[in-house]
Amino acid sequence: MVELKDVSVTYSSGVDALEHVNLKINDGDFAFVVGASGAGKSTLIKLLLKEIDATSGTVTVNGYQLNHMKKRKVPELRRTIGVVFQDFRLISSMTVYENIAFVLRVIDAPRKYIRKRVPYVISLVGLQAKANSYPTELSGGEKQRVAIARALVNDPSLIIADEPTGNIDPELSYEIVELLRSINRQGTTILMVTHEHELVRRFGGRIINITEGQIVFDEIMEGSDDEFLEDLGNLNDED
Amino acid sequence: MMKISGIRYLVEQGIENIWKNRMMAFASFCALLVSLVLVGISVLAYQNMDSMIGGAESQNEVILYLDEDTSTEEINRIGNEIYQMQNVAEVNFYSRDEAYQDWKEQMTDYDILFESLGDDNPLIDSFRIRVKDIRQMSKTVSQLENLDHVYNVRAPYDFVAIVTQLRITLTWVMSALILAMIFVSIVIISNTARTSVYSRREEIQIMKYVGATNVFIRLPFFIEGMITGFFAGCGALVITWVVYDAVAGILQNQVALLSIIGVGSMIRFEAIYLPVTFAYLLGGALIGAVGSAVSIRKYINV
């Protein structure tokens, strides 16, 4: 569960990145976070990962109160969150298997469990044949599947996907979102940040629009032809 | 608390990383090697120069002249008393007869003078004393002057002043040189370690995002740095040994000259082999490990 209560973030440069944001994402939700560049989407992610602290307000993620969290507790929080980045961020010197197994090694998981869990997660993202390949030998879509498998392997409560379709072809983007939705159906909360309105329009669901550091829209919309989703597209295009 | 299997994995990672990042590991190895050789040779040069000055110091001689009528028993007693003194390294009795004989041998052109003296020996008995620490010479001379039947004590104060000044100058110059070498080494090592860590900053960031603790991230870097440093220490030891032996070989041919000017020869490498090996290997491993672990600090705070 993610909960932000009256959260503001002001950077040392004086820029107000978030202003009085109130947001609650329940366990098992799937939410799109949309907004133009510089709207505050990245700040929101940094806040949830405890990369930065809120200037005011309270932030709760997976039961952790982030405002008063000690530094040594941060790894514990991050082990409950899976992160998928636009640029994949795979370790180039490691194979697909090693990139995923690495997360379990970080939490000191038993070797036996790693040997069982990693192939299972690789099969979930359909990359059994590529388990021993290095990232440089994969396509953009495959890399992102590895990144999703890596985010998933630790069985996190929440997956934050930061523009996961930004570096891949449109048709593969749908596959990635489908994959995330299927993970969501197993009970994992998904927060997907994107600026691709076409994806949002196609899949619908909960849509949170951040503009100039404020949440200007937070509704659940279903269906690809919904009139409101069309309006949302127009709203973002104006940004 | 991390499990043994977890620690084993991190140690394996540290070893694997050396091969995976072999170019940067080689750069770190070279930087450490050069630094260790620079500092090591400076320290050995200082120790040898100090030892050579020590050799010159050991040539010091204080002469204690006895009263003319001092009996043999008293001479023996005084000799013993001198020998018991803390700062005395060596005591030799030099009888007036020996002195007269030596004098005659040195002044063969002055036979007329010795003929005029006949059997009348104008010289007096003396002790030739070598002190351990020339900085304590004046104190020792005072003690000698307070003994019974002492006619006069002559000490080479000019020599002491020159050697002491030489040692002070050498200590300052070499300390400055060694400090400069250490500073240069720190700059080289930290820059290389930072470059090495910079090339892997993304890897560190990923580790942080998936919930790795700082110990988990640092340990492989620590192991990697330690192994690289250890091998750099081995390399530095071999280079130092070869250079040392070559210099010692050149100086060995100049033994005669060295003894004429009163300085000792170089310390044999066999005599310092163990501490030098220990210092190089331990120093290399420690500097390598700490250098790597400290350099990732900037990237670890994500």
pLDDT, mean of each 10-residue run, chain B (302 residues): 74 81 85 89 87 76 91 92 92 90 80 75 90 87 92 86 84 88 78 76 84 86 88 95 88 65 70 92 90 77 63
- Assess whether A97 and A127 both reside in one domain: yes
Tell me whether residue A86 is in a domain: no
- Assess whether B121 and B262 both reside in one domain: no
- Assess whether B175 and B267 both reside in one domain: yes
- Within chain B, where are the H helices? 4-20, 22-57, 72-84, 96-106, 111-117, 137-145, 157-198, 201-209, 214-252, 255-260, 269-295, 297-300
Q: What pLDDT, in 10s, does the model give residues B250-261?
A: 877 766 666 655
- Assess whether A136 and A167 both reside in one domain: no
- Assess whether B53 and B196 both reside in one domain: yes
pLDDT given for residue A237 in this prediction: 46
Tell me whether residue A139 is in a domain: yes
Are B208 and B217 within 8 A, CB to CB?
yes
- Within chain A, where are the H helices? 41-48, 74-78, 96-106, 111-124, 140-152, 170-185, 197-203, 227-238
- Assess whether B41 and B89 both reside in one domain: no
Of A72, A106, A108, the CB nearest to B210: A106
- Assess whether B294 and B194 both reside in one domain: yes
- Assess whether B147 and B251 both reside in one domain: no
Query: Of A108, A135, A155, at which residue does a domain stop?
Result: A155
Contact A106 B202 (CB under 8 A): no
- Assess whether A11 and A54 both reside in one domain: yes
Query: Of B125, B155, B185, at which residue does a domain stop?
Result: B155
- Return all residues near A184 (Cβ < 8 A) that are at least 6 apart: A28, A29, A30, A190
Measured CA to CA in angstroms, residue B233 lies from B11, B148, B285 at distances of: 20, 59, 7
pLDDT, mean of each 10-residue run, chain A (239 residues): 95 93 95 90 94 95 92 92 92 92 88 94 94 95 93 94 87 88 93 88 90 92 59 48
Residues 182-211 of chain B with CB under 8 A from chain A are: 202-203, 205-211
Tell me whether residue A198 is in a domain: yes
Q: CA angle B153-B155-B161, nearest 5°?
A: 155
- Assess whether B70 and B42 both reside in one domain: no
- Return all residues near A159 (Cβ < 8 A) that are at least 6 apart: A81, A82, A83, A84, A148, A151, A152, A180, A183, A188, A189, A190, A191
> Which chain A residue shows the shortest CA-CA distance from B4?
A108
- Assess whether B76 and B223 both reside in one domain: no
- Assess whether A230 and A169 both reside in one domain: yes
Q: What pLDDT, in 10s, does the model give residues B85-113?
A: 999 999 999 998 888 888 878 777 777 77
- Assess whether A149 and A163 both reside in one domain: no
- Chain B residues whose CB is inside 8 A of the A106 CB are 207, 210-212, 216
Of B5, B202, B209, the CB nearest to A49: B209
pLDDT given for residue B217 in this prediction: 84
- Chain A residues whose CB is inside 8 A of the B213 CB are 72, 75
Element holding A211 (H helix, E strand): strand A205-211
- Chain B residues whose CB is inside 8 A of the A103 CB are 210-211
pLDDT given for residue A238 in this prediction: 42
- Chain A residues whose CB is inside 8 A of the B216 CB are 106
- Exposed e or buried b for every residue in B239-270, given b needs 16+ CB within 10 A? bbeeebeeeeeeeeeeeeebeeebbbbbbeee
- Assess whether B136 and B229 both reside in one domain: no
Of A89, A91, A106, the CB nearest to B211: A106
Instruction: Give how many domains chain B has, as a whole number.
Output: 2
- Assess whether A57 and A107 both reside in one domain: no
- Assess whether B191 and B49 both reside in one domain: yes
End-to-end CA distance of chain B: 22
> Which chain A residue shows the shortest CA-CA distance from B9?
A105
- Assess whether A170 and A132 both reside in one domain: no
Contact A111 B216 (CB under 8 A): no
Instruction: Give how many domains chain A has, as a whole number.
Output: 2
pLDDT given for residue A223 in this prediction: 57
B5 and chain A: CB distance < 8 Å anywhere? yes
Contact B210 A111 (CB under 8 A): no
Query: Of A107, A125, A155, at which residue does a domain stop?
Result: A155
pLDDT given for residue A228 in this prediction: 53
Q: Which domain holds residue A38?
A: 2-80+158-238
The question of ipTM being above 0.90 is answered as no
- Chain B residues whose CB is inside 8 A of the A108 CB are 2-3, 5-6
- Assess whether B138 and B167 both reside in one domain: no
Q: Which domain holds residue B126?
A: 62-155
For position A218, which CATH number holds? 3.40.50.300
> Chain B: nearest CA to A79, how far in angstroms?
5
- Assess whether B8 and B53 both reside in one domain: yes
Of B9, B21, B209, the CB nearest to A78: B209
